[in-house]
Amino acid sequence: MDGSSDNLIAVGRISGTHGIRGQLRLHSYSGNLESLQAAKNVLIRFPAGGTRQIQLKKAAYHSGKFLLTLEGFDTIEKAQELAGAELLLQREQLPPPDADEYYWHDLLGLSVVTNEGQALGIIKDILETGANDVYLVRDDATKREYLIPAIASVISSVNIHTGTMTITPLEGLLDL
């Protein structure tokens, strides 16, 4: 598995254990299980630092939760060691996103400007809300932050190659 950070995509965070046989609950960043089910190996990034490649035995959806079974983690005690760790896949293991869809990894770090050319800052985080994602945009020079809803009426364009997102802000959005 290529360990370069540009090739690795965080697809979820291990939120805890399920049962006593080492199954893990996964908070999926995409809600898509197909890529995980097709993967043979995953990379685990521990909260304290460091990574480890582990064979994925099974990925399933059960009672509203994503569950994983990893090679070598067959007891609850061993599984608890992974709580809070991020699950990474190689970019090649993921399907290409649909038109006008992007992986979070590709959006983080984009410069955000208004359609009138006002620079707002950099996408620092993506927040999941019930209806749509929200981009946390921060101008490091002024320490000003904006919450930009990821909706078609606001996001005018995204250009991954130039590292720019252009928005048409809703009235009052930038005044908060």
pLDDT tops 70 at residue 4: no
Provide mean pLDDT across the span 83-111: 88
Q: What is the pLDDT of residue 70?
A: 95
Rounded-to-integer distance, Cα 39 and Cα 56, Å: 7
Alpha helices in the chain (DSSP H): 34-38, 76-80, 104-107
Question: Could you tell me if residue 98 is inside a domain?
Answer: no
30 and 79: one domain? Answer: yes
Residues 88, 8 contacting (CB under 8 angstroms)? yes
61 and 89: one domain? Answer: yes
Contacts of 61 (CB under 8 A, 6+ apart): 33, 67
Rounded-to-integer distance, Cα 80 and Cα 128, Å: 25
50 and 113: one domain? Answer: no
Residues 45, 5 contacting (CB under 8 angstroms)? no
User: pLDDT tens digit string along 127-160?
Assistant: 888 789 999 999 999 999 999 999 999 999 999 9
Contacts of 17 (CB under 8 A, 6+ apart): 23, 24, 25, 76, 79, 80, 83
Q: What is the pLDDT of residue 5?
A: 62
Rounded-to-integer distance, Cα 131 and Cα 134, Å: 10
86 and 137: one domain? Answer: no
CATH code of the domain in which 59 resides: 2.40.30.60
Q: What is the pLDDT of residue 41?
A: 92
Number of domains in the chain: 2
Question: Could you tell me if residue 35 is inside a domain?
Answer: yes
CATH code of the domain in which 116 resides: 2.30.30.240
Q: Is the pTM of this model over 0.85?
A: no
Provide mean pLDDT across the span 102-128: 93
Nearest to 148 by CA among 173, 114, 130, 117: 173
Q: What is the pLDDT of residue 6?
A: 65
123 and 83: one domain? Answer: no
pLDDT tops 70 at residue 1: no
Q: What is the pLDDT of residue 131?
A: 87
Which of these three, 40, 58, 93, is where a domain ends? 93
The SS3 of residue 164 is strand
78 and 122: one domain? Answer: no
Q: What is the pLDDT of residue 145?
A: 96
What domain range is 59 assigned to? 5-93
User: pLDDT tens digit string along 15-70?
Assistant: 999 999 999 999 888 767 777 888 889 999 999 999 999 999 999 988 878 999 99
Sign of CA dihedral 169, 173, 175, 176: negative
pLDDT tops 60 at residue 3: no
89 and 149: one domain? Answer: no
